Amino acid sequence: MSYKLEKPYTDKQRADFIVLHNHNNGRKIEEGVNGELFALEANEIMGSSGVPEINPNYEAEQAAKEAERIAMLNLTAADVERAIYKAKGIDFDDIVALVESTSQASENPIDIKALKIELKANNFYRGNPYIDAVGTILGFTKLQLDEFFETNDYTKLLNNEE
């Protein structure tokens, strides 16, 4: 629910409204067609009629922002290799051997040379498609990988049964 400051208002009332709603509570300030000020909640937009309305794309926009944030999470190569070793008892060399033996039978085989290059990177980004591909081979779900990259906690990679 948006908040409204109707005309006439003083400069002080305008400033107080902006401080209260924007600076203190993070609402977006928009001016209406008649000069009134609106403090919009996160899920609101200024409608074409000059009054606030619920943004019909809000949930999709938030999901896209969250997916972008998750994709940009990163860990060092040492963090990732150490976690895989603790969770599965294997290192990057073992992963290459495993991928070589399992990937060729798959519909979408992993390019081994490209994987070796990726494994030499200083940082691993969650959005890198090799993370999901190798994670699937190792039995990790996307949620487990997301949580691991979020926390750098290798226990997120352990199966629930363990």
Over residues 15-44, the mean pLDDT reads 95
How far is residue 26's CA from residue 15's CA, in Å, rounded to a whole number?
15
Q: DSSP secondary-structure letter at 19? A: I
Q: Is the residue at 107 inside a domain?
A: yes
Structural domain of 85: 67-157
Q: What is the pLDDT of residue 108?
A: 76
pLDDT digit string (tens) for 31-53? 998 889 999 999 999 998 888 99
Q: What is the pLDDT of residue 160?
A: 60
Give percent of the chain with pLDDT exceeding 70. 96
Q: Is the peptide bond before 8 cis (omega within 30 degrees of 0)?
A: yes
Looking at the structure, do residues 12 and 85 belong to the same domain, yes or no? Answer: no
Looking at the structure, do residues 46 and 73 belong to the same domain, yes or no? Answer: no
Q: What is the pLDDT of residue 162?
A: 42
Looking at the structure, do residues 72 and 147 belong to the same domain, yes or no? Answer: yes
Average pLDDT over the chain, rounded to an integer = 93
Looking at the structure, do residues 148 and 76 belong to the same domain, yes or no? Answer: yes
Looking at the structure, do residues 120 and 44 belong to the same domain, yes or no? Answer: no
Q: Is the residue at 136 inside a domain?
A: yes
Q: Is the residue at 62 inside a domain?
A: no
Q: Is the residue at 162 inside a domain?
A: no
How many domains does the chain contain in total?
2
Looking at the structure, do residues 148 and 85 belong to the same domain, yes or no? Answer: yes
Over residues 66-70, the mean pLDDT reads 97
User: Cβ neighbours of residue 78 under 8 Å, at least 6 residues apart?
Assistant: none
Count CB-CB contacts under 10 A for residue 88: 17
Looking at the structure, do residues 85 and 50 belong to the same domain, yes or no? Answer: no
Looking at the structure, do residues 120 and 45 belong to the same domain, yes or no? Answer: no
Looking at the structure, do residues 79 and 42 belong to the same domain, yes or no? Answer: no
Looking at the structure, do residues 85 and 10 belong to the same domain, yes or no? Answer: no
Length of the chain: 162
